[in-house]
């Protein structure tokens, strides 16, 4: 009897250790917590995160008065409209509410077979302009590459564009799903701030984002060598910027 109980206990432990955790399902099969695998294809859910919100306005343009939280939410709604009917879309926030960063991570990690795209608008030196993509996990590189290529086609020839940046942030390192943070443009640049204020331009940005997501879902990572894995602890609020 004791032997039978012991064997049943071992079996339960083995089965439990094989079960997917957090953002498991289609996306995270055979992945460790660092995402050291190629990016997924065939994912079933897209989590769209409009940056900031509520009490947190994000960047505010001194040229147009536009607030990042409003532009991000509008852009996310446009991306959702273009993806609806092709893939399940979940909005991290659907109105002007504040969601803590760690709560965003928790919600994203609960979704099986998902990717996370967090949409923002940037601020910096007045000469800086253009889209930037932040990513950390190896399984996020392919999506970041597709997003960057598509966004650069919206406004070609921009100077000061830093392109893809591998950075350990709470929304790029901590979720248990592939995740990319998209900076659509600089509200601190006078010309780009006016562009970002234009609804037609934001619709073009949304179309570029939606197209990249669908391409990644259909084909997986683009051709090229995967970046090297980097093992690092989760990002914390007390970490220095850009660490």
Q: What is the 3-state secondary structure (H, E, C) of the chain?
A: CHHHHHHHHHHHHHHHHHCCCCCCHHHHCCCCCCCCCCCCCCCCEEEEEECCECCECCCECCCCCCEHHHHHHHHHHHHHHHHCCCCEEEECCCCCCCCCHHHHHHHHHCCCCEEEEEEEEECCCCCCCCCEEEECCHHHHHHHHHHHHHHHHHCCCCCCCCEEEECCCHHHHCCCCCEEEEEEEECCCHHHHHHHHCHHHHHHHHHHHHHHHHHHHHHCCCCCCCCCCCCCCCCCCCCCCCC
pLDDT at 140: 96
pLDDT at 160: 53
pLDDT at 67: 99
pLDDT at 158: 59
In the predicted model, residues of the chain with pLDDT beneath 70 are: 1-34, 156-161, 240-243
Q: Does domain 44-219 have CATH number 3.10.20.90?
A: no
Rounded to two decimals, the pTM is 0.85
Strands 132-135 and 163-166: parallel
Phi-psi region of 53 (alpha: psi -120 to 50; beta: other; left: phi over 0): left
| Adjacent-strand bridge partners of 60 | 67
CA pair distance 175, 186, nearest whole angstrom: 26
pLDDT at 50: 99
pLDDT at 242: 52
Which residues are CB-contacts of 59 (< 8 A; sequence separation ≥ 6)?
Answer: 67, 68, 121, 122, 123, 187, 188
Tokens of 165: 């940046």
pLDDT at 220: 94
Residue 179 near residue 105 (C-beta atoms within 8 A): no
Torsions phi, psi of 169, nearest 5? -115, 165
pLDDT at 218: 96
């Amino acid at each position: 009897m004791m032997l039978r109980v012991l064997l049943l206990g071992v079996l339960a432990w083995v089965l439990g250790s094989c079960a997917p955790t957090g953002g498991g399902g289609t996306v995270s099969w055979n992945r460790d917590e660092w995402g050291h695998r190629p990016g997924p294809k065939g994912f079933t859910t897209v989590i769209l995160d409009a940056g900031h919100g509520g009490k947190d306005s994000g960047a505010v343009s001194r040229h147009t008065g536009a607030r990042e939280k409003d532009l991000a939410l509008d852009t996310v709604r446009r991306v959702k409209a273009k993806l609806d009917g092709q893939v399940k879309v979940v909005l991290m926030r659907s109105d002007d509410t504040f969601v803590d960063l760690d709560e965003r991570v928790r919600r994203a990690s609960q979704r099986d077979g998902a990717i996370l795209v967090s949409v923002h608008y940037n601020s910096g030196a007045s000469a800086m302009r253009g889209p930037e993509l932040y990513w950390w996990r190896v399984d996020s590189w392919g999506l970041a590459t597709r997003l960057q290529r598509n966004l650069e086609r919206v406004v070609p020839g921009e100077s000061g564009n830093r392109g893809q940046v591998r950075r350990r942030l709470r929304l790029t390192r901590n979720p248990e799903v592939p995740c990319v943070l998209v900076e659509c443009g600089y509200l601190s640049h006078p010309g780009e701030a006016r562009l970002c204020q234009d609804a037609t331009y934001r619709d073009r940005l949304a179309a570029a984002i939606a197209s990249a997501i669908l391409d990644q879902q259909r084909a997986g990572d683009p051709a090229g060598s995967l970046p090297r894995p980097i093992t690092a602890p989760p990002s914390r609020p007390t970490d220095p910027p850009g660490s």
